[in-house]
A and B are shown apart, each in its own frame.
Chain A
């Protein structure tokens, strides 16, 4: 935000673009002002003249000022963002929301379940794990994608696999695929958590969130320790417009990550 105006963005100049998959790009943005965020918070990224939408920021490598944002092309704004080139300017607002309660996730067994582009929502958390590895005694990441071509952060995933347990699966695996085959829920049986001492994050479509949280519950992991990123229409980002309301919670202000127990029964949230 510029000065005190919550709604005016700061400038973010695109310094690098990684084509992760045919539909997903990661933008490295240098911002006019530092954007200091916490894993799980979100920012609003604007393609000037088209509009803005919420995305999950990660730090730029090497601690350079600015943010990295992974964007899947799905419509107007994401389409406009995908057409941007190195050197182009975007608008950045935020950070917004609360983010993951790291103190509740650290020093216990930790399971991350993510599908498709939603791995972007947990990437900052994974970077926290890597930078304070001792705080996370046991980590397992289950990741699912459609096909090998849709694999996100492919080089990172290899490196992460050296630091903690990573299982990946593709729904339609090809010849060269070195992971598992089939839909992500097929991997749930590979988990054997110590329920009392385990926290988890499930990121994905409502179906994935429901099935992931459901599987963990069957394994005895309390729903209040399963954190889920919730996506609702976001406009102001700061609790001033009510468009993200889910029950009595504002997703932008009280979320976007919530304990599953708190949001699972909210009417209309998972439509």
Chain B
């Protein structure tokens, strides 16, 4: 079902949701913040900082059951198609579907409602289409927002939770031409994304390319500016590598998964079994192998949704697309 709201009506809706839920959405700095605290939002900025991942797998973990995010239902508004793809395609598979399920993740996930938004103006760093996605959600979103040129919102929704959140609101349907306008905006966005990266079948072909190319010389050349900060993994919506750490609270030891990165020197090493990442180029290649080959074998989609975050954070200004192009050019 599709309804239309003005910006004012939409804000009222958010305020109403905030009474009983923790409502997060991108603020005017592009960070996902609590609506109640910030009051303003900017659904156009990209990519979103503080990804959906952090709500489910925070950097330093939750001590068992101790998350303030469980006090009320959480609604994240404005998550992108690439975020949803990472969530449904990778994280939910690992933590919920693969037995045994992670109950801590499960309780946070159950408590979370995601409202997605179309990307009307993708960033220069976006390449979701090339990795098999699109700048708007094609399926699987309970509630999706499309912003029209005059600032009005088209809200498409289905499912119980969506009806609960939107069911009793003023129901005006889309006007004549609104759907056409939405589709035109989507087409323009798609064209922009296609122009961002020339390898159009990256989704299916990159894994094999990385697997076949393991020359130290090639990888050494593309990884030269990497300082092993791990930023590319931490900001990535599909990366979930972690180490289980123990912390003390009073007399009690508690456990929590804390983010790890395959770009760190000691990643997956053990004195008994060596250090796979001793050499920088091997760590660096591993990330591409993991995203385009290993994860694709395991999940059926690559572990890169083309969100472009890693391109934006890298202090070495390493652009994943440049690395891939370099590999494709070596025939």
Contact = CB atoms under 8 A, between A and B. Distances in A.
Given A4-B103, A7-B64, A245-B294, A232 B253 contact: no
A233 B243 CA distance: 10
**Could you say which of A3, A6, A9, A236 has the most chain B C-beta atoms within 10 Å of its C-beta?**
A6
Given A231-B272, A248-B297, A248-B298, A243 B243 contact: yes
A233 B102 contact: no
A104 to B, nearest CB: 22
A104 B100 CA distance: 25
B318 interface: no
A44 to B, nearest CB: 9
Interface stretch (B40-48, B118-126, B168-176, B255-263): B255-263
B255 A243 contact: no
B241 A74 contact: no
Contacts of B272: 74, 231
A243 B267 contact: yes
**Could you say which of B254, B276, B298 has the most chain A C-beta atoms within 10 Å of its C-beta?**
B276
Interface string A1-19: 1011111110000000000
Contacts of B104: 5, 7
B240 A242 contact: yes
Interface residues of B, number: 37
B64 A5 contact: yes
A75 interface: yes
A241 B276 contact: no
A239 interface: yes
B103 A46 contact: no
Contacts of A48: 246, 253
Chain A's interface: helix, strand, loop or mixed, by majority? loop
Interface string A220-241: 0000000000011101101111
A244 interface: yes
Nearest to A238: B100
Nearest to B214: A267
B270 interface: yes
B245 to A, nearest CB: 8
A22 interface: no
A271 B276 contact: yes
B177 interface: no
B271 interface: yes
Contact of A49 (B244, B246, B298): B246
Given A7-B64, A248-B297, A51 B246 contact: yes
A199 B273 CA distance: 26
A62 interface: no
Nearest to A2: B64
Contact of B273 (A7, A51, A91, A271): A271
Contacts of A7: 64, 104, 244, 255-257
B13 to A, nearest CB: 35
B67 interface: no
Contact of A241 (B98, B257, B270): B257
B159 interface: no
Given A7-B64, A7-B256, A51-B246, A245 B268 contact: yes
Contacts of B256: 7
B183 to A, nearest CB: 39
A145 B244 CA distance: 34
A111 B244 CA distance: 37
Nearest to B241: A242
Given A6-B102, A51-B246, A248-B297, A239 B270 contact: no
Contacts of B102: 6, 238, 240
A235 B267 CA distance: 11
Contacts of A242: 240-242
Interface in A228-271: 231-233, 235-236, 238-245, 247-248, 253, 268, 271
B253 A233 contact: no
Nearest to B57: A240
Nearest to B271: A75
A236 B259 CA distance: 12
Contacts of A235: 242-244
A240 B241 CA distance: 8
A240 B240 contact: yes
Contacts of B242: 235-236, 240-243
A243 B241 contact: yes
A232 B268 contact: yes
22 contacts: A5-B103, A6-B100, A6-B103, A7-B64, A8-B255, A48-B246, A91-B253, A231-B273, A232-B270, A236-B242, A239-B98, A240-B95, A240-B240, A240-B242, A240-B257, A241-B241, A241-B257, A242-B240, A245-B294, A248-B298, A271-B274, A271-B276
Sorted nearest first, the 8 A-B pairs with minimum C-beta distance are: A4-B103, A271-B274, A7-B255, A233-B270, A241-B242, A242-B241, A235-B244, A243-B268
